[in-house]
Amino acid sequence: MEAQLKKGGLLLLLLITFPVFGQISFYKIYSGNGYDQGEGICQLSDNSYLVTGSSSSFEEAPSQVFLLKLDEYGNYVWSKAYGGAESEEGKRVMAVEGYGYYIAGTSSSSGSGDFDNYLLFTNTNGDRLWDIYTDNGGWERIHDAVMLPDTSIFAVGETDANSPAVSDMFITRYSKTGVLMWSLELGSEDGSDVAYAAQIATDTTVLVAGTKYVVDSLKNKAYVALLHIDGSVIWEKTYGNDGDYRLNEVTTRDGLVKSLGQRIKTGKTDNDIYNVTVHLNNGAFISSEEYYMDDDARYTAAVQYEPGNQGHFLVAQQSINPNTPTFPEGEDAVLFRFNDGLFWDGYGVSYSGIGQDQFNQIIPTSDVFAVAVGYTSYFGPGGSSIMVVKIGDGNVFPPAVETPDVYDLVYLEELHELKTLEVYPNPANDQLFITVSEKAFDYVLRDATGKALTSGSAFANGEIDVSQQAAGIYFLTIAHASGEQTTVRVIKH
């Protein structure tokens, strides 16, 4: 059963929901004065949340990676921003309980002249301990990342290092201290190939999904591969019969792989929703669903969760319906509940306003339900605002309201004072120089185990002799008199 409610020029699609008690659910908007977009979310052991994405609300850079801490009810705890003078985007956040948080994304601040893979690590207060850039020789971007059991990071995305006209899948693994362990390029030579999603399959294997150009068809097909964590490909397959296909999400359970995304049917120009189910052990095709629709529609995120052990999916769908346009300036964002066969079972809510509205990640939560993160272009004082929706029961979705409360993303007292910090050369051979323009500061150099090697104080400029230190990775912490501090990862040659 379906009903529509129109108030104040906003059309909200409301599907069957019933009240429930004892479960936490919320629909929250967080915003600054710029463009703020939620991309990734994780839940901590105390049921609080970390959200990452991109924001232009913190400083004057075009955009920065942000980390937003929320309590279990979605209330603001703190927020921090990271990056350089150019643009940064956080795609995924991953937690090592009691130690710190990884954020994987993309940056153009490394000095390479292009976008590069960006990985940073903070302590549990959100203070940056180190960050690294990976330049493959072209334009690189991370679209998804997972943390392996040894706390190394497996990231997937794209690079155009081989040809500026097309991209290859770019898959990387980083150690827990940020060392690039290996990188891998996959794809064809004649078309664009991109890895959009990753999912841990076993302790030693990871599923990768995206799109791959198939020369025989002159089309892009849905792509799924199983990789060993050492970078070797166990199997890779393409799927799809008629048109161009792309997978944005991949999940696995009970020996099956279920992936969701979109396709553009031959002769059409808009997207249809698409999903495919294959065997985990070899990628053999089992089934697929592709719908010829009036809407331009695609799946952007999904997760399998288990209320009542039913194996339900929470699926994010983006759509534009030309016959009954709600917000023609952008896509509408809808959360649906699907059964184990990836068919809608009657529950869901649209969280849409004027402009683009989108969900970018959904994860299961400790109460066996789910939480989704994305952004809205209508609510809030800036160009876009972060949107977080917590589902508190498999049958109950928090309602989309006409004028939701908007919570601050940025608190001015939390902005970094060490804006002019420079540490160079890095990598270093003999001397390491520190510059903090017109500010007094303290510094401590530690090895990879955390042992303090040398410390001191300076005004504006400092110098550390590292000539006697062994080659390897070190961490330099600089503290301002106000208590603001940051940590820079230093490589000694």
Residue 226 maps to a domain: yes
Q: Do residues 337 and 472 both lie within one domain? A: no
User: Do residues 120 and 46 both lie within one domain?
Assistant: yes
User: In the listed set 386, 414, 442, which residue is the last one of a domain according to the structure?
Assistant: 414
CATH (domain of 110)? 2.130.10.10
In a domain, residue 2? The reply is no
pLDDT in tens, the chain (493 residues): 233 333 233 333 434 333 344 478 999 999 988 899 999 999 999 999 999 999 988 876 789 999 999 999 999 889 999 988 889 999 999 999 999 999 999 999 887 888 999 999 999 999 999 999 999 999 999 999 999 999 999 999 999 998 878 999 999 999 999 999 999 999 988 899 999 999 999 999 999 999 999 998 889 999 999 999 999 999 999 999 999 999 999 999 999 999 999 999 988 889 999 999 999 999 999 999 988 777 899 999 999 987 655 678 999 999 986 555 555 568 999 999 998 888 888 888 999 888 899 999 999 999 889 999 999 998 888 889 999 999 987 677 898 888 888 888 875 434 445 556 788 888 889 999 998 876 788 899 988 666 889 999 998 889 999 999 998 878 788 887 666 667 777 888 8
Residues 291 and 268 in one domain: yes
Q: Are residues 158 and 69 in the same domain?
A: yes
Contact between 452 and 446 under an 8 Å Cβ cutoff? The reply is yes
Query: Measured in Å, how far apart are the chain's first and last C-alpha atoms?
Result: 66
Contact of 352 with 358, CB cutoff 8 Å: no
How many domains are there within the chain? 2
Q: Are residues 375 and 448 in the same domain?
A: no
Of 357, 379, 414, the residue at which a domain comes to its end is 414
Do 364 and 406 fall into the same domain?
yes
Same domain, 474 and 363: no
Percent of residues in the chain assigned helix, strand, coil, to nearest 5: 0, 60, 40
Residues 338 and 431 in one domain: no
Write out the residue range of the structural domain in which residue 472 sits.
422-492
DSSP code string of 187-232:
S-SSS--EEEEEEEEETTEEEEEEEEEETTTTEEEEEEEEEETTS-
Give the Cα separation of 358 and 360 in Å (integer). Answer: 6
Residues 379 and 462 in one domain: no
CA distance 351 to 357: 8
Q: What is the CATH number of the domain that holds 433?
A: 2.60.40.2550
CB 20 within 8 A of CB 395: yes
Contact 211, 245 (CB under 8 A): yes
pTM above the 0.85 mark? no
Query: Are residues 330 and 357 in contact, defined by beta-carbon separation less than 8 angstroms?
Result: yes
Shared domain for 28 and 46, answered yes or no, is: yes
Same domain, residue pair 449 and 345: no
User: Which residue, among 190, 120, 182, has the nearest Cα to 162 in the 3D structure?
Assistant: 190
